[in-house]
């Protein structure tokens, strides 16, 4: 209860009536409000980009030069769990890659090793992107596929085109390299909105299980999992929320302030320079820097406060 506001109520009797009125609220409404209160977390400034085959190194470097601090997935999850708070008064960036194209293997790894060794010398935080992979491995229909029985040369995904996707061996190598976070993009890159519920369930739940198995095979501790909706089509949010810590959509608009409390299962992402004009991204940087200079911006903003 906000006590100041409560004391401002004029008369004792009315105050008592009001309090009993609150208590008479249906329990489900109180439960909902309390649930909201418990998960309320401050917002923070973060640009999240997504890329496909190409690695837009010029864009990455321009954003980093503009002073954006790279965030890791672990930090965002910890923030959402209320374990640590991401400062709201600086601009952050998180780079993500979709679909597990072969270019997101050794080529990305080498680029990051070079970039991060320079950053380390300069005393800067390393850049750690997320690579969202479809984990079908040619057998998307098998609910408990044993990855130890899958040939290492099997691509994580195939779409009948000439596109090359990361193989199981390459994915295991990437996890070992510890330069990126590998996460789930379903099994067959199907829009969850366009397939039967049973199949959507398999896409969400089985891809999570296979992801855990990938980390298990490498022996890397793995206690957080996130999902990127294929085609950015948000669907089956309850199932996704029950299975993952966070989920990422796509959004063609620039939104610098993440309302992480409300958008945990629909985190907005901005396409990279192959899709947006350079000018759009530059405008974003300018706007974000402008916000940073305004005295009121950057304060933590909270969702519902606990009322009782």
CB of 50 to Zn ion, least distance (A): 8
CB closer to Zn ion out of 42 and 230: 230
CB closer to Zn ion out of 91 and 250: 250
Q: Give the distance, in angstroms, between the CA of residue 297 and the centroid of all CA atoms in the same chain.
A: 23
CB of 228 to Zn ion, least distance (A): 7
Under the binding rule (CB under 5 A), the answer on residue 179 touching Zn ion is no
| Site track for Zn ion across 75-114, x = CB under 5 A | -----------------------xx---------------
CB of 119 to Zn ion, least distance (A): 28
Cα distance between residue 99 and residue 228, in whole Å: 9
Encoded tokens for 133: 């992979």
Q: Give the number of C-alpha atoms closer than 13 A to the C-alpha of residue 192, restricted to the C-beta side.
A: 24
Site residue total, Zn ion (CB under 5 A): 2
Cα distance between residue 56 and residue 272, in whole Å: 7
CB of 58 to Zn ion, least distance (A): 23
Q: Which residue is nearest to Zn ion (CB)?
A: 98
CB closer to Zn ion out of 158 and 259: 158
| Site track for Zn ion across 40-79, x = CB under 5 A | ----------------------------------------
Encoded tokens for 42: 């401050």
Angle ∠(162,275,127) on CA atoms, nearest 5: 90
CB closer to Zn ion out of 98 and 206: 98
CB closer to Zn ion out of 225 and 250: 250
CB of 118 to Zn ion, least distance (A): 30
CB closer to Zn ion out of 98 and 179: 98
Long-range contact pairs involving 169-174 (C-beta distance under 8 Å, separation at least 24): 170/102, 170/105, 170/106, 171/100, 171/133, 171/214, 172/214, 172/217, 172/218, 173/105, 173/106, 174/104, 174/105, 174/109, 174/131
Q: Which residues contact 303 (CB under 8 A, 6 or more apart)?
A: 36, 37, 39, 40, 41, 261, 262
CB of 69 to Zn ion, least distance (A): 27
Encoded tokens for 78: 């910890």
CB closer to Zn ion out of 44 and 265: 265
Residues that bind Zn ion (CB under 5 A): 98-99
């Amino acid at each position: 209860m906000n006590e100041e506001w409560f004391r401002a109520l004029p008369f004792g009797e009315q105050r008592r009536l009001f309090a009993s009125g609150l208590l008479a609220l249906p329990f489900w409404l109180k439960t909902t409000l309390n649930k909201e209160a418990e998960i309320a977390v401050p917002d923070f400034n973060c640009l999240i980009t997504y890329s496909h085959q190409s690695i837009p190194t010029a864009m990455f470097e321009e954003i980093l030069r503009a002073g954006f601090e790279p965030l890791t997935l672990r930090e965002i999850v910890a923030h959402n769990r209320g374990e640590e708070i991401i400062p709201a008064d600086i601009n952050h960036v998180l780079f993500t890659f979709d679909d597990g194209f072969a270019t997101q293997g050794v080529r990305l790894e080498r680029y990051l090793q070079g970039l991060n060794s320079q950053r380390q010398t300069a005393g800067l935080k390393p850049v750690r992107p997320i690579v969202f992979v479809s984990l079908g491995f040619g057998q998307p229909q098998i609910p408990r596929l044993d990855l130890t029985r899958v040939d290492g040369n099997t691509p994580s995904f195939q779409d009948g085109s000439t596109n090359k996707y990361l193989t199981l061996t390459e994915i295991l190598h990437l996890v070992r390299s510890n330069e990126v976070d590998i996460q789930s993009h379903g099994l067959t890159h199907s829009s969850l909105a366009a397939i039967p519920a049973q199949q959507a369930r398999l896409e969400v739940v089985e891809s999570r299980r296979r992801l855990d198995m990938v980390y298990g095979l490498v022996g890397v501790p793995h206690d957080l999992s996130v999902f990127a909706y294929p085609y950015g089509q948000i669907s089956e949010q309850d199932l996704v929320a029950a299975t993952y810590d966070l989920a990422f959509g796509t959004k063609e608009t620039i939104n610098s302030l993440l309302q992480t409390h409300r958008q945990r299962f629909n985190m907005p992402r901005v396409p990279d320079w192959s899709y947006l004009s350079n000018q759009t991204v530059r405008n974003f940087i300018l706007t974000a820097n402008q916000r940073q200079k305004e005295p009121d911006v950057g304060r933590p903003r909270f969702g519902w406060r606990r009322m009782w």
